[in-house]
Structure 1
């Protein structure tokens, strides 16, 4: 079994697992950190961005490079459409991938890069919420970037990395970065997804069985259990033991795996989600009291649902029921509507509300009462009428490189009364703000990551008791933000293997046996013999058929029309060699002598020797040598006598 790592970010995983001649891809996360190297795409032309000074490296006279780079407060950015770093078909050809297993909607944003234009002809498995909400993420991403197209695309800067300032100079393989896909690629890739339910067993070409079980992280999020007849692999990605809106994590199905692959732990190990949520609510209330407005860059689904619920309750308790909240996204209406029809994927508490009847999420009530207003864009009809300050705005994108969030940072950035609050942990907030500096508005970092922290992960490993633990190398050392926190690592007494991008691991799981089925026709002809109490044996000669990775024993029959004389002769020899039975046990000498006497051989003399017995038949000029594991008959070429003695000998032995 081999594991290939195609991702440099454990929270945007993409792995290849090869086992029993099947190639599985585990997730297809998209690394979006590369977009931080680009200038934002404003919804309306920005004089500030247009007037940023150009930057050219010293001693480089490349006319093509001119205009590609701009400087803002000491940081150099690329003035072009943002680019992403998808998994690369470097060590694995994507056309060889048989199956893609997707854990959650945050781990599927590279799907169009992998399935389109690569020769991929396999199948993709995901739960219904993962596919439907993943569609919203993909559509929003494409729309954000396509609504503000760039007239020119910069690429020559990639030829001069060695003379560029950090962090551009540290860019990893920028020649492999890609522009965003289009909606055709999105729709074509989503058409390859087959929806699955929790605990539904899926057959993978007869070789493996895969099952999705709840991971507790977000709506429809899954861990995957991969079984053969005698081996078990558990893939744990993006899991949570906290009580929020998704269905709780199913740990039972993950226990006692031969191999446990663990990834997707918290990106903010020093931040407690509950504390961050409380700090966010207080910051919003304080800002609104002072007459300022609040911007919360967010994704169109996930934690934002919990923010609507907690923040509206806090503002009500603070006497701010008249403060409007705006949710702006190209998929805002679909996201809000869809989340309320997913009862089977929700926690028990949320499910119970469906049968009252009551909406599982309060944002439906907030929308009906006009407290939460949702719009596709800031230029959507009705927004300018409803818009008033102070207010709270939820919109994308958390990177602040595209989407409506860019407009609000430009609009509110010069007012110190306003606040921007970062809740999504995917992007370093200071880097996100870098192209907007100098900025007067307050910036507050309240990352809310409900993924497993290291304490929870270590406990989970102890409970699951895997044979071997496999995880990213970064989990074996403290994070860079807290290098002395030795508690922020994975510690285990289980055998452990770690990996990093572009590495190939040979996992300690070797196929020692496999299951073979027997056809009913062959089973009918078996004659079992009991060799001891509860144990029966039978001989068989059969043809083994291997089809779709399933092994079946069938009756060995001569074909009606043999394809060639050689094949016919080989089959005839195989049939002639078929034994009627096998003998076992120790020869009873007294019984043997008695039986040959009954057949008229009365002159037998028995001599005991170190290796067994020698039986001499003088009149027949025959010697029988009996040992523990063999019997030899020496009869000077009398084949009739030899056959007669052999028959008597077999009568004295046990057979099966």
Structure 2
């Protein structure tokens, strides 16, 4: 098996991407887009302010765009709003993915909605024919995100026009523009959706199954079972989730594990700065008791910490509203948005504050409608509400009470009519360059009473550059996005694999002298070759064939052997031998021999049968060829080579007798 890490990703919005080959098939994990370059572009100017041709021609974003010039400019003077590129944004895809011919990819597995945003660029490649698998919820949410991105990007197209004026250097660095609606529709036609625990059989050789990761609604890990290897792929996962179905880690007990949750690697970097000793010293004294490990993995402290974080955001939001300010929450995570919507509305009620809550997105209405009809993808707490006759989410009551207002865009006529301040607004973030967040930030950036809630991981200094001077309060929070560092080894102890592939930095945690599994470290851009654990393959034999065994004992060794004839099939990752329609009696089949006959032993057998002969030196150059010349009853020649024995004789009866003699000194079945 060959495994290549194409990208380690960067955060929840940019998951890792890998390529690996197993059983002759090439499989790609996830196909994300990198939005980290988006902040270098300037948002659409306020009121569609017209930029002069002279300004455009001299701006780094046009004509004279050069990386060396930009880097020198950063060194010479501080970055300001004039340094941003005034052009239609382009996006980055994974550079290492360009090194792989997409026509040779057989399968693409999508683990989360963010992991499928780059699919339209992959599926439109010539000769792309891979099978794409994703859960039903991931496919729906991913499509909504792509549709929303296209809708918000249209604002740039309307301002700058549809002409492709990006320089060759920009195309080389950023690679792709925004996908179009046709690309998304064509991409979704090639996606095969699955449910949690549902088996999908690819080409009869691989059985693929999606299992809940708990990261987001519909997000999943994967198991791949084949004739030679059983693999579990662990993406970013959360053991206990308030909205999504919990992390189904017990179903990942396979012999080979690909660990692809880099969130613990990021947190490990902070720990490494505070300690000089190896981390393994602090983790070797880990209990092997299953109950203890299970309690450690299900520790509620993780959920309590997230709840306290959300409560703090709510308290800050209430303070801003009480002081007359508004709250802007640009977050693209459905689960976090639904939780904040629920808790902020409750906090406002508790404080007796009657302010409107707005959800502004081109897919907001579709998103809420979808979230309300997917109980099978939600946590047990949400499902229990459904069984009790309660709404699964608070937004249902908020919509009925007209406290929550849903609009597709900031310029929607109904929004302009109903707009009230102070208010709380939820919208997508897209690095503060696309969509409603740009207009609302421009409106409130000078208000010291207003609050902006951002996710950690976004370069706030660069993202907020176009909105300076910023009087608005900014609260940056890090939401749980994967398995915490202290749960990595307990998880592996529970799963008990034979082989584990870990990110290079994370592999420091594993003391291979005390663990029962072998660790392979991988790094970005390098190919890792992992040997097969199985020297032989398993074969299922039909009962009627198994009953017809005719055993033959070998001459050397205490081994019995039988010969079978049937139809060999590969189905659901298992080889099976089925009975043929036409049966041939075992005693009527010609024997299959192997090995090389011993010349002296063969001469003795021939002599006992009344056939006289002698050894003769072969004329062949190879010394491995032996010749027996028969003198009586008639002349014949037996030529024994490495791979075959040739009997040359005119008498058919003598030929049959010689064959019987050779048969008696060889093993056959």
Shift of 1:91: 2.9
Cα distance change of structure 1 residues 31 and 228 upon mapping to structure 2, 3 Å threshold:
same
Q: In the alignment, which residue of structure 2 is the partner of 1:206?
A: 204
Shift of 1:429: 2.5
2:119 is the alignment partner of 1:111: yes
SS of residue matched to 1:202: strand
Shift of 1:528: 4.7
Is 92-101 or 455-464 further displaced after alignment? 455-464
Does the CA contact (< 8 Å) of 1:238 and 1:452 recur in 2?
yes
2:339 is the alignment partner of 1:306: yes
Q: Moved runs in structure 1, 4+ residues, more than 6 A?
A: 49-57, 68-71, 489-492, 546-550, 554-558, 635-641
Out of 501, 522, 547, the residue aligned to residue 499 of structure 1 is 522
2:479 is the alignment partner of 1:448: yes
Does the CA contact (< 8 Å) of 1:80 and 1:153 recur in 2?
no
CA distance in 2, matches of 1:52, 1:391: 41
TM-score, reference length from structure 1: 0.75
Shift of 1:474: 5.3
2:399 is the alignment partner of 1:399: no
Q: In the alignment, which residue of structure 2 is the partner of 1:578?
A: 592
SS of residue matched to 2:4: strand
Does the CA contact (< 8 Å) of 1:418 and 1:442 recur in 2?
yes
Q: In the alignment, which residue of structure 2 is the partner of 1:329?
A: 361
CA distance in 1, matches of 2:486, 2:54: 46
Shift of 1:50: 8.4
Describe how 1:93-112 pairs up with structure 2 within 5 A: 93-112=101-120
Q: In the alignment, which residue of structure 1 is the partner of 2:493?
A: 462
Shift of 1:501: 3.3
SS of residue matched to 1:461: helix
Cα distance change of structure 1 residues 395 and 221 upon mapping to structure 2, 3 Å threshold:
same
Q: In the alignment, which residue of structure 1 is the partner of 2:25?
A: 22
2:317 is the alignment partner of 1:284: yes
CA distance in 2, matches of 1:303, 1:454: 22
SS of residue matched to 2:449: coil
Which protein is bigger by CA-based radius of gyration? 1
Does the CA contact (< 8 Å) of 1:300 and 1:329 recur in 2?
no
Q: In the alignment, which residue of structure 2 is the partner of 1:187?
A: 185
2:535 is the alignment partner of 1:512: yes
2:89 is the alignment partner of 1:82: yes
Q: 1:375-433 CA deviation, whole Å, 9 max, x = no partner?
A: 1011223212221111111112241011100001111111212111113x452333321
Does the CA contact (< 8 Å) of 2:92 and 2:174 recur in 1?
yes
2:48 is the alignment partner of 1:45: yes
Does the CA contact (< 8 Å) of 1:457 and 1:490 recur in 2?
no
Does the CA contact (< 8 Å) of 2:261 and 2:482 recur in 1?
no
2:130 is the alignment partner of 1:122: yes
Does the CA contact (< 8 Å) of 2:112 and 2:138 recur in 1?
yes
Q: In the alignment, which residue of structure 2 is the partner of 1:388?
A: 420
2:166 is the alignment partner of 1:158: no
Shift of 1:264: 4.7
CA distance in 1, matches of 2:519, 2:112: 25
CA distance in 2, matches of 1:444, 1:297: 12
Shift of 1:309: 1.1
TM-score, reference length from structure 2: 0.73
Does the CA contact (< 8 Å) of 1:273 and 1:450 recur in 2?
no
Cα distance change of structure 1 residues 76 and 490 upon mapping to structure 2, 3 Å threshold:
farther
Q: In the alignment, which residue of structure 2 is the partner of 1:243?
A: 241
Q: In the alignment, which residue of structure 1 is the partner of 2:155?
A: 147
Q: What's the RMSD between the two structures over aligned residues?
A: 4.5
Is 97-106 or 299-308 further displaced after alignment? 299-308
Cα distance change of structure 1 residues 554 and 475 upon mapping to structure 2, 3 Å threshold:
closer
Q: In the alignment, which residue of structure 2 is the partner of 1:607?
A: none
CA distance in 2, matches of 1:84, 1:22: 30
Between structures 1 and 2, the one with greater helix share: 2
Question: What residue ranges of structure 1 are gaps of 5+ in the alignment?
Answer: 160-172, 478-488, 559-573, 583-613, 623-634
CA distance in 2, matches of 1:115, 1:125: 13
2:420 is the alignment partner of 1:417: no
Cα distance change of structure 1 residues 475 and 435 upon mapping to structure 2, 3 Å threshold:
farther
CA distance in 2, matches of 1:471, 1:39: 39
Does the CA contact (< 8 Å) of 1:257 and 1:466 recur in 2?
yes
CA distance in 2, matches of 1:491, 1:436: 49
